[in-house]
Amino acid sequence: MSRLADVDLTLQLSKREEKEQLKAVQKRLVHLRLLLGGQIGPGEIGPPLLVLFEGWDASGKGGAIKRLVERLDPRHVRVAQFAAPTHDEKRHHFLWRFWPVLPGWGGMAVLDRTWYGRVLVERVEGFATEEAWRRAYGEIVDLESTLAAEGTVVVKFWLHLSPEEQLRRFESRRGDPYRAWKLTDEDWRNREKRPAYEAAVEEMLERTDTPAGPWHVIAAEDKRWARVAVVRTVCEAVEAALTARGIDPDPPLT
């Protein structure tokens, strides 16, 4: 079964629908974030919230992250972006560089690219040995299971779009001097290896989708739909986690 092929890429929202729905889910997220931080409700801090973003190049990860955090107080969320590991980082286990940004109780962190690079780009491009990336599935599941057992709410996104829409976005960026910096030679090379990347994504989804860290594959063909879906999904994940812990997501505020 193909998780990617099952995604309905025709889903879309009008500008008006996006504005109305985004306002509602962002307001809800502010409430939940303040509750987790002990700023409203009973005053006790809640579990850590960790949101992981992966997806195709030009799938709109940056725009989705912007809408996710734009109504939050910047003191209440940390956004961290991860590119290729540095020379020093390569001297350590591949998970080492992510630990400093993981949230503690009452905290929230958003990761733009994650440890899944080991089983995606490092696998496809040969930056990791086959033995290393095959071993990584278990190591990642162990990490996320450990974090979840400690209380962390782990929300994982793969933003999916068609190769045709990706090409349209690439060409749009290339023609805009204020966005051309987003497009690199590496993006074009990765696009040429789409079948290999699709195989890697499918295996990643199959082997690392667990109760501790379920994957949410988001239709990103329409950016408006994707942005609303991301914020709504985070809200739903937090609500479910709080309810499972016997915490009222809507406590009296007075």
* 50-92: pLDDT as tens digits: 999 999 999 999 999 999 999 999 999 999 999 999 999 999 9
Q: Mean pLDDT, to the nearest integer, of 195-201? A: 97
Does the residue 52 lie in any domain?
yes
Q: Which residues contact 149 (CB under 8 A, 6 or more apart)?
A: 212
pLDDT of 230 = 98
CA 221, distance to chain mean position in Å, is 16
251 inside domain: no
pTM score over 0.85:
yes
Does residue 252 fall inside a structural domain?
no
Whether 241 is in a domain gets the answer yes
What's CA 120's distance to the chain center, in Å? 15
Condensed to tens digits (0 to 9), the pLDDT of residues 103-158 reads 999 999 999 999 999 999 999 999 999 999 999 999 999 999 999 999 999 999 99
Q: List 198's β-bridge partners, or say none.
A: none
Residue 168 lies in a domain: yes
pLDDT at 186 over 90: no
- Mean pLDDT (the chain) is 95
Q: For 211, list phi and psi in degrees, rounded to 5.
A: -60, -30
Structure tokens at 92: 């350590």
Please give the pLDDT value at position 133. 98
Is the residue at 197 inside a domain? yes
Tell me what pLDDT residue 183 has: 84
Q: Which structural domain, as residue segments, surrounds residue 49?
A: 4-245
> Is pLDDT of 254 > 70?
no
Number of domains present in the structure of the chain = 1
- The letter for the amino acid at 30 is V
The answer to the question of residue 145 being in a domain is yes
* pLDDT above 80: residue 168: yes
Q: What is the CATH number of the domain that holds 80?
A: 3.40.50.300
For residue 251, give every residue at least 6 positions away whose Cβ sits within 8 Å of its Cβ, in sequence order, or none: 35, 40, 41, 42
**Does a structural domain hold residue 250?**
no
Greatest pairwise CA separation for the chain in angstroms? 57
Take residue 57 and report the two structure tokens written for it: 């190049």
Q: Give me 206's structure tokens.
A: 């199959």
CA distance 158 to 152: 19
